[in-house]
Structures are given as C-alpha cells and as structure tokens.
Amino acid sequence: MENVEYFRDKMLAAGFDIKPTQSAICAVMLYDAKLSQEYAARLLEEGIYVTGFYYPVVPKGQARIRVQLSRAHERHHLDALIAAFIKARARSSARWSQQAHPLTRLVVHGPPHPRG
C-alpha cells in the first residue's frame, strides 16, 4: 500500500481528485466520459496503459481512469505515471482552474452538456 499512498498523495497535491481506496486500484476522477477516454489515449502515447471507465460501467457523471498499482512498481514508475497525468491534463481539451469545482478543479470548455 506504500505505492498507493505515494501515488494518491502526489496526485492530490497535483490537483487531481482520487477516490479513497483500501486496495491497489486507484480511481482518478474526471467526471466526463470523453475526457476519460482522452486521458487514457494520452497516457498510452506515453507508454502507460490505463483504463477509462464511464457510463454504463459507472454512474453518469462519474467517469474515471482506473489505475492499478503493485509492489513491483518502483518510485520512478510512479513519478512517470504522475508526470503523464499532468501532461495529459495540460494537453486535454479541458482547462484546470483553482476557481472551478473544489473537488475536481476542472472546467470543460465547449457547448453545454445535455445533462445541464
């Protein structure tokens, strides 16, 4: 669980919303299906395979990236993963802001979403 704690702490410090976990699976909450797929593709470009989950696998508006960590991951692997998430955020169609939602700090620019 040391790797999970390290990953979670660093991702939270970087402004990502991570669901609490008691396992090696970390959910990086993005809340938007398209964005979860965009992040998964961006991370794959960095050689990191993660899975984006969205409705109907998870409730609407609860899209996320599922990251599974293990003891075999070394600190440099985790640092590369965290850096890839930060890079994906910088390249995404969304802009992050401290003034946005206090949990996600995510502002998606574009047409209004059909859910409101």
Per residue in 63-99, is it b (16+ CB within 10 Å) or e — as a string? bbbbbebeeebeeeebeebbebbbebbeebebebeee
For residue 110, what pLDDT is reported?
Answer: 39
Look-up: residue for tokens 């999970």? 4
114 vs 84, which has greater pLDDT? Answer: 84
Cα–Cα separations (whole angstroms), residue 95 to 5, 45, 61, 99, 107 = 26, 20, 18, 11, 6
What is the model's pLDDT at position 22? 87
pTM score above 0.85: no
**pLDDT digit string, tens, across residues 49-63:** 999 999 999 999 999
